[in-house]
Amino acid sequence: MLRDVVHVNGSPSPSELDDIYNRRFAEMADYRRAIWAVLAADVFQRYVPVDGVVLDLGCGRGEFINQILAARKFGIDLNPSSREHLDRSVTLFEQDSSTRWQIEDRVLDAVFTSNFFEHLKDKSCLQRTLQEAYRCLKPGGSLICLGPNIKYLAGAYWDFWDHHLPLTEESLKEVLELTGFETAKCVPRFLPYSMSQGARPPLLILKLYLRLPILWPLFGRQFLVVGVKN
């Protein structure tokens, strides 16, 4: 349902990222912002202190980071157009996520990422990225991960040219724990798969869906995994 975009190591060059993003999402930009306003307020704000520090990993055009409430906000993305779409309150780092982040140790209260890990080139890139998140989070800080669950998608997972790394909720949970995180939440089926094509249900439907977990196993194709730094 969300951000099937490229912010990758070993994938299209930064100059190609905006073309891919426009092809998939330009016609749905307003709708996507409205969806993310609901998700930020109704789901993810509970993990982000309003007086805290948050980083959006693979921030794209700021659908999440522009709308979440926090005292300080950061984004990481290689897409050259990200800067044009982020609020002035957001500091952008245009860098490979698997290299050392331009943030000191134990600064962040939360790291959020949506539909990003599958674009990384390989497992070593993911491990290095998670190690950086762990380093930069304060003790007790959260890493909130949304992503397509290959377990429930089969061949549809490969419909996006820039998908590289297939993950399930269990494989992500395992590597998080190997990195030092404690699993606080693990939902195998949370949101539907993609918002780059298909119907645009009213926001009221989304609000009802989020309040009725009994529906998630029927429609959910994305996991939600939250790790906490010990």
Q: Is residue 196 part of a domain?
A: yes
pLDDT at residue 53 greater than cutoff 70: yes
Q: For residue 199, what pLDDT is reported?
A: 73
pLDDT at residue 165 greater than cutoff 70: yes
Q: For residue 3, what pLDDT is reported?
A: 41
Q: Is residue 101 part of a domain?
A: yes
Q: For residue 38, what pLDDT is reported?
A: 96
Containing structural domain, residue 199: 14-229
Range of weakest confidence among 10-14, 110-114, 145-149, 220-224: 10-14
Token pair belonging to 83: 């800067």
Domain of 62, CATH number, reads 3.40.50.150
> Across the chain, what does the average pLDDT equal?
89
Q: For residue 16, what pLDDT is reported?
A: 59
What span, in angstroms and rounded, lies between the C-alpha atoms of 212 and 32? 21
pLDDT at residue 1 greater than cutoff 50: no
Q: Is residue 7 part of a domain?
A: no
Name the pairing type of β-strands 137-148 and 108-114: parallel
Q: For residue 57, what pLDDT is reported?
A: 98
Q: For residue 20, what pLDDT is reported?
A: 55
* Mean pLDDT of the region 97-102: 97
CA distances from 142 to 49, 125, 152, 226 (A): 11, 20, 26, 7
What span, in angstroms and rounded, lies between the C-alpha atoms of 147 and 222? 5
Q: For residue 27, what pLDDT is reported?
A: 63
Structural domain total, the chain: 1
CA distances from 141 to 68, 71, 128, 144, 187 (A): 16, 15, 18, 10, 19
What span, in angstroms and rounded, lies between the C-alpha atoms of 147 and 225? 9
Q: Is residue 185 part of a domain?
A: yes
What span, in angstroms and rounded, lies between the C-alpha atoms of 32 and 143? 22
Reported confidence tier of residue 79, pLDDT bands at 50, 70, 90 = confident
Q: Is residue 176 part of a domain?
A: yes
**In DSSP terms, which residues pair with 147 in a beta bridge?**
223
Q: Is residue 35 part of a domain?
A: yes
Q: Is residue 6 part of a domain?
A: no
Half-sphere exposure of 112 (CA within 13 A, CB side): 30
Reported confidence tier of residue 194, pLDDT bands at 50, 70, 90 = confident
Q: Is residue 83 part of a domain?
A: yes
